[in-house]
């Protein structure tokens, strides 16, 4: 990790630039995949599954027997953990439902807004070396609470055609049964345009690698909504001299193991803490299984000494991290000053891992400074808000002259006339 001591504010923008990992042929490759799936449907998906994943099959859909068998392979300990996490996530997300509220604007004029679930949604669950079964809970639970009628899930199988059992068990306990053995950009294209097997959806959710992310961006241009722009994982920690270096190092490494392009940053006003955290990172990282990934991630990462906790908050708001841990004596007061962050973890015992799995909040969050203008995933991500208005004869008599005057001033006589004939 690179140490930066007391950087002047003009330097902050440079320090906030994320690591670049784009390849020159990425866009062309993903465009080709998306185009092929759109034109050839299942045939293209099957060809790509064989080419990219080494998986050959005649059927893409997971059958009920596979889900039942997978459940038998999951340990009771993991089943219990998933059930408890499910309850916490349901509790937090159920509280996000808002009641319909009718507003009486004036006599005879009533307006209100109704939440209407998106009818058909697609969930993408990454597989690979770290199958994210927790993401099934994070996506499926708010979709179900929102009331989405059709929920499609795609996730890549292994070379034997088997999906990670924990992913299927998470789908089972959340009630997701429309599951397809497809990964990568081809999965996004299949859900966006539909194939002979995969239903077309209206909005696609879920994290993925650069190919998945680019595919989501491309299908969005054709009117398919996506959850949010996603990139490599990020963690920023603000800590003072009372923070435990062992905790800080563990939190940094927990995010560094996500991928080689992840970035973790420590902000502190204590030079002693900085030195102690460096020592702890060195001690702990060699004990972790994904040490090669961590080593590459740490090359992107920073340890920054600043003048004060308030300056740390200013830097954090400039950076707009996906995850922000505030491990200071005055965490609550500092948290009040946060304006740009995906999710905030306050206090010594609020590990970012808690939010990833079981505290109840959603771990699908904006990265790459999108926390300045995007929120993390919620029940609202799965609904549309439709406005309604009801105007009586009394209401149009009161409101009509206002509309006539404004329409006339804009030169829209048809608008004016639509009111005039009612008066």
* Residues with a known catalytic role: 322-323
HSE, side-chain direction, 13 A CA sphere, residue 151: 25
Residue with tokens 């042929």: 25
Bridge partners, residue 408, by sequence: none
Q: Going edge to edge, which strands form the sheet with 2-5?
A: 2-5, 302-305, 263-268, 234-239, 323-327, 343-346
Secondary structure letter of residue 373 according to DSSP: T
Residue with tokens 């409101």: 399
Contacts of 18 (CB under 8 A, 6+ apart): 231, 232, 234, 263, 367, 368, 369
**238 neighbors 309 (Cβ within 8 angstroms):** yes
**373 neighbors 382 (Cβ within 8 angstroms):** no
Secondary structure letter of residue 150 according to DSSP: E
C-alpha to C-alpha distance for 276 and 323, rounded to whole angstroms? 22
**251 neighbors 233 (Cβ within 8 angstroms):** no
Q: Going edge to edge, which strands form the sheet with 178-181?
A: 178-181, 150-155, 120-124, 203-205, 225-226
């Amino acid at each position: 990790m690179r140490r930066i001591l007391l950087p002047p504010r003009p330097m902050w923008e440079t320090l906030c630039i994320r690591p670049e990992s784009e390849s020159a042929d990425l866009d062309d490759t993903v465009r080709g995949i998306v185009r092929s799936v759109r034109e050839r449907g299942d045939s293209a998906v099957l060809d790509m599954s064989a080419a990219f994943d080494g998986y050959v099959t005649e059927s893409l859909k997971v059958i009920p027997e596979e889900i039942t068998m997978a459940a038998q392979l999951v340990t009771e300990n993991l089943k219990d953990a998933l059930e408890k996490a499910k309850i916490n996530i349901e509790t937090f997300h159920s509280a996000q439902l808002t009641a319909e509220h009718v507003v009486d604007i004036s006599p005879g004029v009533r307006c209100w807004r109704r939440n209407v679930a998106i009818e058909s949604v697609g969930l993408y669950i990454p597989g690979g070396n770290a199958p994210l079964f927790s993401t099934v809970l994070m996506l499926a639970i708010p979709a179900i609470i929102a009331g989405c009628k059709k929920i499609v899930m795609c996730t890549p199988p292994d070379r034997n055609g088997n999906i990670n059992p924990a992913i299927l068990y998470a789908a089972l306990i959340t009630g997701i049964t429309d599951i397809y053995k497809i990964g990568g950009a081809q999965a996004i294209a299949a859900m966006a345009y539909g194939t002979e097997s995969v239903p077309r959806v209206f909005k696609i959710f879920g994290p993925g690698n650069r190919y998945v992310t680019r595919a989501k961006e491309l299908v969005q241009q054709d009117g398919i909504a996506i959850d949010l722009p996603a990139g490599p994982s990020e963690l920023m920690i603000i800590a003072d001299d009372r923070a435990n270096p062992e905790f800080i190092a563990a939190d940094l490494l927990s995010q560094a193991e996500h991928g080689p392009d992840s970035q973790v940053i420590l902000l502190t006003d204590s030079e002693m803490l900085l030195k102690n955290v460096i020592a702890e990172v060195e001690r702990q990282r060699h004990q972790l299984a994904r040490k090669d990934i961590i080593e590459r991630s740490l090359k992107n990462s920073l340890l920054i000494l600043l003048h004060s906790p308030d300056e740390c908050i200013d830097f954090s708001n400039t950076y707009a991290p996906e995850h922000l841990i505030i491990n200071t004596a005055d965490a609550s007061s500092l948290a009040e000053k946060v304006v740009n962050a995906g999710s905030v973890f306050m206090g010594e015992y609020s590990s970012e891992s808690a939010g990833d799995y079981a505290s109840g909040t959603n771990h699908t969050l904006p990265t790459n400074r999108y926390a300045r203008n995007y929120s993390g995933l919620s029940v609202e991500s799965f609904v549309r808000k439709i406005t309604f208005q009801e105007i009586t004869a009394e209401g149009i008599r009161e409101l009509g002259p206002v509309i006539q005057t404004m329409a006339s001033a804009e030169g829209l006589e048809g608008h004016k006339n639509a009111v005039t004939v009612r008066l």
